[in-house]
Structure 1
């Protein structure tokens, strides 16, 4: 495969050969070999992000690049990349991605925070960021995280009314007895639970997500 068709792109993953774990998820409208070369050259020049810094530190030969060559349209490509990254995160995989999108032009939608109504449609991150005097990186993060930014919601997906991502940090949590499972106390948020019990809030969150059994000798779950 030398070059993808116009308007299409592929998703790829990069695995650390020493740990045999996926460390990066990316997308490109070029060939995988071309994108790989681009990352490696940037690593050598010192124009780096976290992923490229890791390549420079460990050596390019210590990474395996894989794609199934399935072609997606640009908007679908960004969505598929987001879904794959979220799946890895749910599995507890720590990726080196600092941003998402591979510089690919994709549609951006801006929504009303009150009712989720569509306010505007942009043909690129640059056009969207210029509309609110911001940066492409900030708009991209808002699209990926489905969070409010500049008093609006942003997304790569057309969804009317728009449903923002729920912030688990603000969800109620229940402190339970590990042996009986009975409720000990209910808290309004993880932050409150951590403050009252002095149990690390990250540990409580991991317990609620099922990534660990106990936190501070207690079982925790979302309300």
Structure 2
């Protein structure tokens, strides 16, 4: 009887030890997620980036790499799958969509989304939702051709467009919706025209222009508005802008 009791206790101890070992062996779920994709050698489709997050810092920049489609890092406040990822892959575009909702569809807060894009294709980019701090810089030889950037959020938006871009017969359309505090810094490359129009109810905090003129009511533009051009549309925003050629 004593042997049976001792054996039972030994088995119970082994089971408990096994359970304990399995429990402490499970690593903590990460708060950092990384997504990366490269273009096929014969890829002709446009890139598509769709970011729908809340309470986050969102950065978009370009890297002089014609093979890179996107490199995205998502950092959450809490561990676990607190965002959703969808792959865009159709006849016209290839890319990624990220939404800050958990597996049951409940909205979540995201700490940061950092996006690096390549120079091998054109991009349509959408960024929203609530209380965002957005920074988008077009630089490093980014390739433009009927590209679009749409930012629809509350919070702050920093948009910079440098002369280190590549363009063909068309350019870039930028739309920044109402209720954002926006800062725009534009230095057009030779041969590219520009226009910026804003809602008359916008508040201009500061402005500086060189080679851009007030061509209409709340419309600024270069001497020529023909394509290719940078075409900027602003909703009712608080804005500071620095426009030059």
- Structure-2-length-normalised TM-score: 0.29
> Quick check: which one's strand share is greater?
2
Q: In terms of Rg, which structure is larger?
A: 2
Compare relative contact order (CA 8 Å, sep 6+) and give the higher one, 1 or 2: 2
- Structure-1-length-normalised TM-score: 0.31
